[in-house]
Structure 1
Amino acid sequence: MFDIGVNLTSTQFAKDREQVVARARAAGVTGMLLTGTNALESQQAQSLARRHPGYCWSTAGIHPHHASEWSGETAATLRRLAESDEVVAIGECGLDFNRNFSAHEQQEYAFTAQLTLAAELEMPVFLHCRDAHTRFEALLTPWADKLTGAVVHCFTGNQQELEACLAMGLMIGITGWVCDERRGLALRELLPLIPADRLLLETDAPYLLPRDMRPRPTSRRNEPCYLPHIVQQVAHWRNEELDVLAAQLESNSRRLFRLP
C-alpha cells in the first residue's frame, strides 16, 4: 500500500516527522511520495526522502498557489532537484481557480513550464486541478503523448471530468475525501469507473482525515498510517478483494514513478 501524496514538510508534522514515518511503516504502508509545492518545500521534501532511502521519494514542483513565485531561478532549482535519486516526479503543478492565490495567467505559465520540464526530463507529473477542469484539459492535452506518465492528485471531479482525464491517459489519485459522508458520495459512485491499472490512493496528509474512521482519531491531523483504512473502504465500494486491490495499487505506484 503506497501513499502517493504526503505533505510531510507541513508544519503540522514539525514535532514528530520521524514518528509519522514509523507509524506508517508499522501500519503496512510500503512507501510514500512526499509532495513539493514550491522551491523551498521541494528541497525540504527531497531532504526528508533522503533520510528514508527505499521508502520515501519526493516530487519537485510549484503548486498553482505559488505560481506567482515562478522564475528562472525556480526552474533551475527544480531541474537540479530532478537530478537526484529521491525526486521521481515533477509537481505538484496545475491549476486552482478556487482560491486564486496566484493569477490565472501566472498559474497557466508555471503549469506549462513544468509540463515542458517533465517532458524534457522524461519524468512523470503530479497534477493539481480544482475548479479549473476546462482550462486544465486544454493546456494538458497537447502534452498527453509527450509525457512519460501523470496522475491527477486528489481527484474530486464529476464523471465527465473523470472520463476526460482517463482519455488523456492520466492516472487517478483518490484521497480520504471519498470517505466523507457529506462531500464524498458523488466521488464514491465514480470509483468503479476507474480502471484498476489507473487507480492510485493517497492520504494527502495532514489534510483530509477520513471522517468515517471508528474509533475517530483524537486529532484532526491526517497521517499516512491511515492509508490502509482508505484502501479498505475503496475495496469495499469497488467490490474488490482487499489484498488484490492493495497489490494493484502497489504495482501502479511503482510503475508510474519507476520505483524498484
Structure 2
Amino acid sequence: MHLIDIGANLTHDSFDHDRDAVLARARQAGVAQMVVTGASREHSPLALRLAQAHPGMLYATAGVHPHHATEYTDECDAQMRALQAHPEVVAVGECGLDYFRDFSPRPAQRKAFERQLQIGADTGKPLFLHQRDAHEDFVAVMKNFDGQLGPAVVHCFTGTREELFDCLDRDWYIGITGWLCDERRGAHLRELVRHIPADRLMVETDAPYLLPRTLRPMPKDRRNEPAFLPHIVEEVARDRGEDAALTAANATAATRGFFRLPQA
C-alpha cells in the first residue's frame, strides 16, 4: 500500500522520545506522507517546523481546535495567517465545533470557527474540520460561507447516517479513523463507510489518539501511530466490500488532490 495519513498529531509529547523511529515505522508500513495536525497556537508552529524538517514526507495544518477557542485573539488570527503563507502548510484547521466536551464556551467556539473559515476564504486553502455533537450549528456556520471556501474535509467523522449524508450533499470529504474499529461506539460506521464515494474518502490515525481496538498485537503503551494506518484501511475495505489495495489507492488519490500534495 501507498498511503497518506491526513491527521497525525506528531507534535504530541508522547512522540518526543522516538519521533524519528515513528516516522521510520510509518514509511516501512507504506505510509509515504503524513499531514501533521496543528490545533493550537502552541502546536501549529511546531507542526510547521516538523514538516520543514521532513520535506516531501510531512506537511502541516495550522489552526485552533474548538477546545482552545478562547485563545483565538486578533494576535492569534495574525499568527494563523502568517503560518498559512508557508507552502508546507496545506490546510486551515483543525477548526470547528465541539459540544461534547465544551472545553471552551460555545460562543467562543463559533467565533474562532468563523474567523478561521475567513482565513480559508481569503487563502483558498482546504479546510481541516472538527465536529462533535454540534452538527446543526456546524452546518449553519459553514452555510454563512457558501461559495467562498475551497474543499473541506470533516476529519475523524463519527456522526450519524443523517449527518454523513448532510456532509456528502455539501461535497465535503470524509476522514475515517480507527474509531470504526471500536465496537462500543463506532460500529455504526461500518455500515456508513460503504456510502462514502471513493473520491471523497480519506483515512487517518489521529495518532497518538484512537488506537484501533482490533489491532493485534496491541502496543504495550497503547499509543496510536501512523504505522497502524494500513490496519484501518483493511477494516474500511472489508466494510466497503472491496480490496484493500483499491481502498488505499482511491484514498491516496483523493488526498493528494485535496491537499495538492506532490508524489512522495
> Matches of residues 13-92 of structure 1 in structure 2 within 5 Å?
13-92=15-94
Q: Aligned residue for 1:140?
A: 142
- Aligned identity (percent) is 53
Q: Aligned residue for 1:101?
A: 103
> Matches of residues 1-260 of structure 1 in structure 2 within 5 Å?
1-260=3-262
CA distance in 2, matches of 1:215, 1:40: 34
**Once the 2 structures are TM-superposed, how far is the Cα of residue 142 of structure 1 from its aligned partner?**
2.9
**Once the 2 structures are TM-superposed, how far is the Cα of residue 219 of structure 1 from its aligned partner?**
2.1
CA distance in 1, matches of 2:247, 2:110: 35
**Once the 2 structures are TM-superposed, how far is the Cα of residue 217 of structure 1 from its aligned partner?**
2.2
**Once the 2 structures are TM-superposed, how far is the Cα of residue 189 of structure 1 from its aligned partner?**
1.2
Select between 224-233 and 240-249 the one with higher mean Cα deviation: 240-249
The verdict on how the C-alpha distance between 1:144 and 1:199 changes in structure 2, with shifts beyond 3 A counting, is farther
Select between 211-220 and 224-233 the one with higher mean Cα deviation: 211-220
**Once the 2 structures are TM-superposed, how far is the Cα of residue 143 of structure 1 from its aligned partner?**
2.1
Contact 1:144 1:168 survives alignment (8 Å): no
Q: TM-score, normalising length from structure 2?
A: 0.97
**Once the 2 structures are TM-superposed, how far is the Cα of residue 85 of structure 1 from its aligned partner?**
1.4
Select between 89-98 and 211-220 the one with higher mean Cα deviation: 211-220
CA distance in 2, matches of 1:160, 1:239: 22
User: What SS class does the counterpart of residue 31 from structure 2 fall into?
Assistant: coil
User: What SS class does the counterpart of residue 248 from structure 1 fall into?
Assistant: helix
**Once the 2 structures are TM-superposed, how far is the Cα of residue 145 of structure 1 from its aligned partner?**
2.4
CA distance in 2, matches of 1:175, 1:78: 26
The verdict on how the C-alpha distance between 1:229 and 1:40 changes in structure 2, with shifts beyond 3 A counting, is same
Which consecutive residues of structure 2, in runs of 5 or more, have no partner in the other structure?
A: none
Contact 1:141 1:168 survives alignment (8 Å): no
**Once the 2 structures are TM-superposed, how far is the Cα of residue 18 of structure 1 from its aligned partner?**
1.2
Number of residue-to-residue matches in the alignment: 260
CA distance in 2, matches of 1:143, 1:21: 37
User: What SS class does the counterpart of residue 249 from structure 1 fall into?
Assistant: helix
CA distance in 2, matches of 1:36, 1:135: 23
| CA root-mean-square deviation | 0.9
CA distance in 2, matches of 1:67, 1:219: 30
Which consecutive residues of structure 1, in runs of 5 or more, have no partner in the other structure?
A: none
Select between 216-225 and 102-111 the one with higher mean Cα deviation: 216-225
User: What SS class does the counterpart of residue 143 from structure 1 fall into?
Assistant: coil
